[in-house]
């Protein structure tokens, strides 16, 4: 039987809060190539035998020190050219947290920095192509519509989007 070449699998976190400047999105500054120094969603590769939802929460904790409570699927990104290291499929999850968990923010693992940014500023960066990987496209085409829909349905923790 011929061997199959399978893509890598990653899981990314979307964490939103109401901040001093309106709705804010948690991003990391990548500490390693590819895209060293660029802003990205917290996330990383799913380990062999690991559930992608567990990987999402693990990577969030490793890169930002934030403990997520639950995850909700937003999108799957699988363009074979989205990662210069090779074909990688990423599952993007909205992550809910307790308010006090957001106060524990500090960067670690392969993140050079982790902080919340006003979402309006990040949308501008996304439109200019200034986010790592295809995270700008994911933000505009998947995350923003998802969060707006969530806001229209009900305001669940950390998801009140006011644009």
Residues identified as active-site: 113
User: What's the order of all strands across the beta sheet hosting 43-45?
Assistant: 43-45, 8-14, 88-96, 70-77
Name the region of 24 (left: φ>0; alpha: ψ -120 to 50; beta: rest): beta
- Is 149:72 a contact under the CB 8 Å cutoff? no
Q: How far is CA 123 from the centre of its chain?
A: 14
15, 62, 97, 104 from 69: Cα distances, Å? 11, 15, 5, 14
CA-CA distance, 94 to 72, in Å (whole number)? 5
Of 50, 49, 28, 22, residue with least CA distance to 109: 28
């Amino acid at each position: 039987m011929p061997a199959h070449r399978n893509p890598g699998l990653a899981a990314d976190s979307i964490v939103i809060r109401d901040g001093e400047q309106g709705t804010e999105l948690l991003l990391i500054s990548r500490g390693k190539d590819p895209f060293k120094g660029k802003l990205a969603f917290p996330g990383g590769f799913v380990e062999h035998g690991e559930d992608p939802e567990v990987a999402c929460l693990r990577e969030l904790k490793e890169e930002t020190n934030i403990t997520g409570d639950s995850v909700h699927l937003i999108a799957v990104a699988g363009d074979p050219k989205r990662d210069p290291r090779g074909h990688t499929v990423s599952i993007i999850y909205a992550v809910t947290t307790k308010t006090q968990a957001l106060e524990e923010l500090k960067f670690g693992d392969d993140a050079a920095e982790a902080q919340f940014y006003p979402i309006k500023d990040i949308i501008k960066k996304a439109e200019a192509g200034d986010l790592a990987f295809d995270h700008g496209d994911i933000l505009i085409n998947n995350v923003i519509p998802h969060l707006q829909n969530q806001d229209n349905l009900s305001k669940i923790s950390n998801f009140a989007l006011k644009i």
